[in-house]
Amino acid sequence: MFKRILIANRGEIACRIIKTARKMGIETVAVYSEADKDALHVEMADTAILIGPPPAAQSYLIIEKIVAACRESGAEAVHPGYGFLSEREAFPKALEAAGIIFIGPNAKAIAAMGDKIESKKAAAAAKVSTVPGHLGVIADDKEAVKIANEIGYPVMIKASAGGGGKGMRIAWSESEVAEGFARSKSEAKSSFGDDRMFIEKFIVDPRHIEIQLLGDKHGNVIYLGERECSIQRRNQKVIEEAPSPLLDEATRKKMGEQAVALAQAVGYDSAGTVEFVAGQDKSFFFLEMNTRLQVEHPVTELITGVDLVEQMIRSAAGEKLSIKQSDVKLNGWAVESRVYAEDPYRNFLPSTGRLTRYRPPVERITGGVTVRNDTGVYEGGEISLFYDPMIAKLVTHAPTRLEAIEAQGDALDAFVIDGIRHNIPFLSALMAHPRWKSGALSTGFIAEEFPEGFHAIAPDGERAQVLASVAASIDHVLGERKRNISGQMTGRNVMRDSQRAVWLGDKEYKLEVKRETGTIAVRFPGESKPRHLASDWAPGDPLWSGEINSHPAAVQVRNLPNGFALSYQGVETKAYVYTETEAAYARLMPVKVKADTGKFVLCPMPGLVVSVAVKEGQEVKAGETVAVVEAMKMENVLRAEVDGTVKKINAKPGDSLAVDAVILEFA
């Protein structure tokens, strides 16, 4: 076994690998860019080596710098994590030439599966179900139209070297094929330096299901069940689970055996994943093979009890698999949510800045429920604009799917993040969504259920009553505290009426609140019994965590002038608690009207101004590009919403702007 390994990655996956290496008694070496000098993975590793400036193209993607770091540190092997160099055939070759072992598959297997056209040919040869399509390189848009007509619509136009949704278009007609082919080819050229395209049949209402494989260097390959990754946004996974609610045992076995056959055909010898597109009728077709550890590997680890990172390390060291196919048993259900630094209310634009609060739910195993949080950040750390916006992967495991979903919802409610925007409200809303709970999934789920994007959910029904109850409870605790201030002159005790009016958004809820032994009792009109709230919440705590009628609940709390900002199960609302007299006066207060910002172009997220396309005095039509802003490797084109004349430009290329900073103003 290795004494020292280097992790050629950053963030949560680097931290994840360090944990397993530490458990195995292996020393770890971290590499870091100048932007990551204070990163968590640097602190956790035994040794850390600086490899360059913040941009990944000048640090984490430079093979020579990784090899040099191995020589400097004496690392015998390298784990690539995922992304960066993990699926670059040249990387294991360079390591081998330097006498360093690659903790991953051999270079030939990476090459065979890294090219989407060649991988489909290999899959067909291994008798794996493949999507009908044309696997040859397509010369131009005319040939693309001809092939699409032969296959039948709709079709998927894809880049051979593609990934992450880039270089990919769905076409429903000849005109869409011609246009989509040109756009995808151009996108593939700029993203991957490879503009080879292919076309295949697009499966309507598809599901994304993948099989986890494990192989060793002795010809053994097994499969560890499947993961369902159908909840996607713009072809990027958002929520994953294992097993899939679609599959039965017979389909699982058939998919697993086909995945193993493909792996054996290319001599696969590490952890890897074969991805399938599945129909609602349980038909399935090969999509691609990922020759690395997947982001969503924890859900498989929790239902199988197998540490995939450990198995990769052991395989790379030449050990035989200690697990046979007959040993693999799927236990319970696991759900993973990807927590990203992005603003769900602004079309998921990236959000950068300092984590002024970062308090994830406590990792635990209690009552048959596991809560696990894979992360690479800490309170006080910074979310950089140079890398992927992932903050954490929150994973829950329970005996049944609904129990795992409920545990995930509770854990998301208890996940406190301040300083940046994040997608937890969106994830919480998904966990409460009836269609998600029913398992009626497809890759179009988010687009179908949130066609206008994600907007703040108004409190209603049971969620509104929970929020009103918690607001009244918090107000009552604060009132008790004020009435018990020490050093007061003796005299008549201050009494306060128990009737309250709680304002949530634009709705008012009347209730009665009283202190009872160990709990606070809240009763709404018409209810025969009060709700009993038990919590050790204290003023200043960002989380109200406790029980409502003995059922666990967590509500996030932020102070506002005379009120609270509360969030729970995807609902974010302002709450104001009044006595009846206070409420009568509050109703008379004028409503503050928001300022009109229609004449301004505002920066939608913290970012860098790439270009400004207009000049002062220029006439601009609605829809015209006025500026481009970049954040987290994503360029965002800002367009004029109305016709107008540019009055003033406040930003220039190279400027770093905060969210809502004014870029330009119209007359």
Using CA atoms, how far apart are residues 44 and 40, in angstroms rounded to an integer? 6
CB 145 within 8 A of CB 172: no
Q: Is-contact 90 63, C-beta < 8 A? A: yes
What would the two tokens of residue 136 be? 């040859």
Strand-pairing partners, residue 535, are: 546
Q: Has 448 been annotated as catalytic?
A: no
- Contact by Cβ (8 Å): 607, 657: yes
Between CA 667 and CA 478 the distance in angstroms is: 49
Q: Are 244 and 330 in contact (CB under 8 A)?
A: no
- Quick check: 333 and 242 in contact, CB under 8 A? yes
Q: Is the dihedral of CA 290, 296, 297, 302 positive or negative?
A: negative
Residue 220 dihedral angles phi and psi, to the nearest 5°: -90, 135
Which two three-digit tokens encode residue 210? 């993948």
From 288, 301, 406, 572, active-site residue: 288
The rounded distance, in Å, linking the Cα atoms of 436 and 396 is 16
Q: Minimal CA–CA distance to 374: which of 312, 299, 459, 431?
A: 299
- DSSP three-state, residue 556: strand
One-letter identity of residue 314: R
For residues 649 and 663, what is the distance between their CA atoms, to the nearest angstrom? 6
Are 274 and 213 in contact by the 8 Å Cβ rule? The answer is: yes
Q: CB count, 10 Å around CB of 645?
A: 12
Q: Name the nearest CA neighbour of 271 among 335, 334, 211.
A: 211
Question: What residues are labeled active site?
Answer: 288
